[in-house]
Each structure stands twice: as C-alpha cells, then as structure tokens.
Amino acid sequence: MRKLVHLIPKPVLFGLLGALGCVLGWAAGEPLLKVIKPPVAKAGEEAKGQPAAPVLVFSNELQKRLKREEAKTGDVQISLMWDNHNDLDLHCVDPNGERIFYGHKNSASRGELDVDMNARPPYSAQPVENIYWPTNGAPEGSYQVFVNHYSLHALVNETPYTVAIKQGGKAQEFRGTIRHGQTNLIHTFEVKKAPLPDLAKLNQRQPPSLKTTVVIGLWTALLAVGMAALIVSGQNLLLHRSLLTVKSATLVLVGGVVAGLISGGVSQHLFALGANSFAAQLNETEAERILPLIIKAGQVVGWSLLGALLGFGLAFSVPNLPKFRAGFAGLIGGGLGAAAFLFALAKSGEVSGRLVGAAILGLTIGLVVALVERLAREAALIVHWHANERTVINLGSQPVILGSSPEAHLYLPKHKGFPPITAIVTFRDGRVQMENKLSNSTHTLVQGNKLQIGELWIEIQTDAK
C-alpha cells in the first residue's frame, strides 16, 4: 500500500484524497438535506395543509427547465416539473372560474399555459409546464392550482412532482406524488392589489431559518471533515505514522465542523440577508434577474472561505507548510470548486451537482495545498525507506522531530530501540542543523549529506528550488 502511494506525486495524491473525502462527506450529508425539504403531499389531498418551503427564487433545476422552454413570467407564475415520460397536466382556475389547461390555454383574464409537454412524442424525461399572468395582468381574487396525471408513457405509474407558485413577491414550492387518472389540488391562494404598493415590502424575501442554516452548515462540515481526515491520513501514511491519532482525529473533527459551520453559515444566511436587503430596493422583474446572481456569489464566497480555513488548518499537520499561503491556496481551490459546483448544477440535477462540486472542491483544495508546500520549499529532508520508496519533508523554522513518539513527524519504530525523540532537524539562516539525542551532539548538514538511521537513510537537500 505504502509503495503504491509513494509512486503518486504528492499534489495528485492530496487531490485524489481530498476528492474522495468530500464524496464520502457528501454521501453522509445528503440525508441531512431532507430535513429542510418540503414534505410530500398525499395523493388527492391539498398541499396547503402542509407547510410549503419559502424560497428566494425557484429551484435551480426548475429554472433551468423553464429557461430551456423559454417560459414566460409575470404577476403570477405557476410551474410544474416531474422526471419521467408520463403526461402530467397543470391546471389553474382563475378568480372568474375559468380553467386554464391543455384544452384551454388562454383565459379572458390574460392567463396563459405557454409550456405544455409530453402530450405527444418526442417525450421528455425532464418535462416542465408553465402558466403565467403578465405584469399588472393578474386579476384580484382566488386561484386554485391542480395537477392531473393524464397519460401513462413510462413504465412507472406513481410520479413524483414539484409545483412552484410565485405571486405577491414570494415563491413557494410543493411536492407530491400522483397516479394515472388522479387529480391533486395543490394550493389555493389570493391575489390582492394594493392601491399604493410598498416596493420594499413587496420584494421582501424570507431569510433562511436557523434550522436551514445549521443543516447547510453541518452538510458543509461533513465535506470538510471527510476531506481533512483523508488528507491528514495520507500525510501520516507517507511518514509511516499512525493514520489518525486521537489528537489529530480530534483536531480534524473540531476544525472541520467549525470550518463547515462558518462557511455554510456565511453562504446560506449572511448572503441571503444581503440579498433580501438588496431586493427590497428593486422591482419584481429586477429582483428575479439579480437575486440568483447574488445567491451564486454567496456560494462562491462560502466555499472559498471553506477552502481557506481547511488550507490553513492542514498546515498544522504538514511540517513547515506556511499557514497563510496554505490558506490562500485553499481559498483558490474552494473558489474553483464552487465554480464547478455551479456549472454542474446548471447542467444536471441538484444532487448530482452537489456530488460533482464536492468532488472538485476536495480535488482542487488538496492539489493546491500540496503545490504550495512544494513551492515554499527552501530545504528538505529526504527519507529513503526502501529503493523505490521515499518521503520528502520540508525543513524550516519548525523543528522536524524523528523518533518513536506518536507526535514525531517522522516515525521510527519503538521496538527497534528508537527513543521518543531520536533527532531534531531545523533549517534557519540558510543552515540545516540536526540535534542527535542518541549522541547528545549537534551537526550542521549540507546539500547531499546522507545519514543512516537504523534501516533507513536520510538525505539533506538545500537547493530544493
């Protein structure tokens, strides 16, 4: 195992371990997100009896489908999406009692079904339907929203769906399942036009709840813990140490949770509050265009902050890795991971987007942190374990300890007679010095010096650049 690991360049190794750690964190964290998902409505029951999820804008997946079909929006917008070839139909009864659906797409009240899918081939596996009233065109009164399962075009009958309703400066999402022949009443809402609308109140969005912020923070923390645990274990494997001591495991757990909660809280809560404040100064059309950009910026900042905190924290486990340089490298890696996450989200579903983004986040952070370690190297201790197995340790002002202690940077087997601290190597003012605890002597070492310690050889490198 160690011989195989030693064949992989360290930046690549750290990148792969970071990616795998984030994927494991993603797998552990996905069930957490169900806590903040809106509940599923029972077939035939109105979803209004169950709390809908307040959102800033429609979900990324729904927005992507609506944009693909060039759907229109206005005072009132009602959208339906599902994920198979069956033909589901969106209906809305307006305040005049006129029903808008596939057989009557335009109403006298100016409502329109402008997107209708899967009625005839070619069928889509990612369909969407949309009803809207233009700006200043929706009449006052009561609206009823229904979903009907019209035709079976897929092997499955029971079909999960999502309905999103936007009106009065707010959006709601409802989820449920439906079988062939059923019609579900989704929601009933009122449209009232104030004579002198207060734009600030009209555009005010609900900030995420504390529960949502904590869940997102914990999900992010699982990514951080998974990534840090595997990278630290990989570093210890290269140095022949225990993969995770109690102390290092505690640091990984506490540091990962703190980093995840901070970065998740910033991206989920603070930027949402900022978006709300900014949206209060805009009209509805401007808010719908600009809010998604603010939310994406919040995700980039949050993941970049996560990368910076992880890079800084990993410097405590990698000898003589400059902490602030590592933090900056992590910042860049986190930003790249966030960009990949947003790209994947735009090209696929939310779950797969989070998976791809998490993997690239771990890959980029691990890669850039290891590259910073290499670029910051002024002198190094090269440990030759066997003919094709060696480890390079940066030398610097932080002493590199060789010995049988669990805290030693380079582990020497206790059963072979090595004391807890066998030697201490430092690099200061351009000189490498080794304090030999076995002989109680101090030696100045130069480029190319080789020393045998037990069955291994160590070599000094002072022209590491």
According to the model, what pLDDT value does residue 33 have? 76
According to the model, what pLDDT value does residue 396 have? 84
pLDDT bucket at 198, cuts 50 / 70 / 90: very low
What percent of the chain lies above the pLDDT cut of 70? 83
pTM score > 0.75 for this model? no
Between these two residues, 292 and 259, which has the higher pLDDT value?
Answer: 259
According to the model, what pLDDT value does residue 275 have? 61
Domains and CATH numbers, the chain: 2-33+207-375 (no CATH), 57-197 (2.60.60), 379-461 (2.60.200.20)
pLDDT tens for residues 82-128? Answer: 999 999 999 999 999 999 999 999 999 999 999 999 999 999 999 99
pLDDT tens for residues 24-73? Answer: 998 998 888 776 655 544 444 444 434 444 444 577 889 899 999 999 98
Q: Three-state SS across the chain?
A: CHHHHHCCCHHHHHHHHHHHHHHHHHHHHHHHHHHHCCCEECCCCCHHHCCCEEECCCCHHHHHHHHHCCCCCCCEEEEEEECCCCEEEEEEECCCCCEEECCECECCCCCEEEECCCCCCCCCCCCEEEEEECCCCCCCEEEEEEEEEEECCCCCCCEEEEEEEEECCEEEEEEEEECCCCEEEEEEEEECCCCCCCHHHHCCCCCCCHHHHHHHHHHHHHHHHHHHHHHHHHHHHHCCCCCCCHHHHHHHHHHHHHHHHHHHHHHHHHHHHHHHHHHCCCCHHHHHHHHHHHHHHHHHHHHHHHHHHHHHHHCCCCCCCCHHHHHHHHHHHHHHHHHHHHHHHHHCCHHHHHHHHHHHHHHHHHHHHHHHHHHCCCEEEEEEEECCEEEEEEECCCCEEEECCCCCCEECCHHHCCCCCCEEEEEECCEEEEEECCCCEEEEECCCCEEEECCEEEEEECCCC
Between these two residues, 269 and 188, which has the higher pLDDT value?
Answer: 188
According to the model, what pLDDT value does residue 52 have? 45
According to the model, what pLDDT value does residue 285 have? 60
According to the model, what pLDDT value does residue 215 have? 80
